[in-house]
Structure 1
Amino acid sequence: FSCPDEAQLVVSDSATPKSGKILTGKLTCDKDTWIGTIKPSGEFSGKNVFYACLYPSAPSCNDPKWKKAICQTGEDCREDGNDNGDGTFSCPDEAQLVVSDSATPKSGKILTGKLTCDKDTWIGTIKPSGEFSGKNVFYACLYPSAPSCNDPKWKKAICQTGEDCREDGNDNGDGT
């Protein structure tokens, strides 16, 4: 796994890092864990850490350059949605659009339709209600049974409300 030219590969003990240790090289997948060519050390030694491709200045979801987060250690992997180019967002056929009060949901309310971006927040065509009413919620495209990162079908998480948006890395086709 490697990062695009504009993004830096970082390691953090946070699933939604705004900064982290800058790493070089690639990541490989060992069982259900992403491993970097530079192993975590210091304050990260022995911890369950997260890798991300982070922009030096991450855009908001309203910015044309908004980007998506990569599959992370220790959570179910989610599918990218599609930017429809008109301010809306939709999920692939195999994935369900869900809303949750968790930034790393394993389940949530199933929504239909699309998301739109209002300032820095993704808004669904079905507004949050019930237990989510008035909360800062997160939208994700989630598989009914999310694979581990070791599964050939591992997928990536979408840009989420209330966190810096991160860039996809590249699947090099050889397990990295």
Structure 2
Amino acid sequence: MEISSQVQLPYPREQVYRTYRDRLPELVAWMPNVRQIDLKERSEQPNTLDMVLVWHGGGEIPAAARALLSEAMLSWTDYSHWDDQGYRTQWRIAPHAFTEAIDCQGENQFIATADGTIITSRGHLRIDPKHIHGVPSFLAGIIARTVEDYLGQQIEPNFQQLAASVAAFLAVTYHVSPE
């Protein structure tokens, strides 16, 4: 499944880019589907940054339901490479459940406009049924398609929610009003 999303924020590109790049763990208060973001690695070079973040989802899932789901089913590791000169990031997401079966990666680009910043996200999500263990093979393909369809329906709204969180963070933290 191809991932494609575009969001516009009424804030300058540099502020939007730096908030995405450097402040994600602080945005949890504005992300109802995320409980926590942990920084695991950060390696900065001139004009680039490599980072590993662990996301803990399930924020809107009732505690009783979360108890039935494993932490692995609600968490993922985000590997990102940030190019400060190109205002883009390449990312790869590794879920903590069905890790071998899921390939999800792509790129975000931050484009300056007269009205603020456009964030484009392009990538793919693929689930290989051959790597879904513990399920009869005739069901694995059905499960893979069903999960891929479900996750595909969640990705664009999640990108939009993240952008809304960045806008709220900028407004509150920096007392920045849209330009």
Max radius of gyration: which structure? Answer: 2
Between Structure 1 and Structure 2, which shows a larger proportion of helix residues? 2
Bigger relative CO (Cα 8 Å, ≥ 6 apart): 1
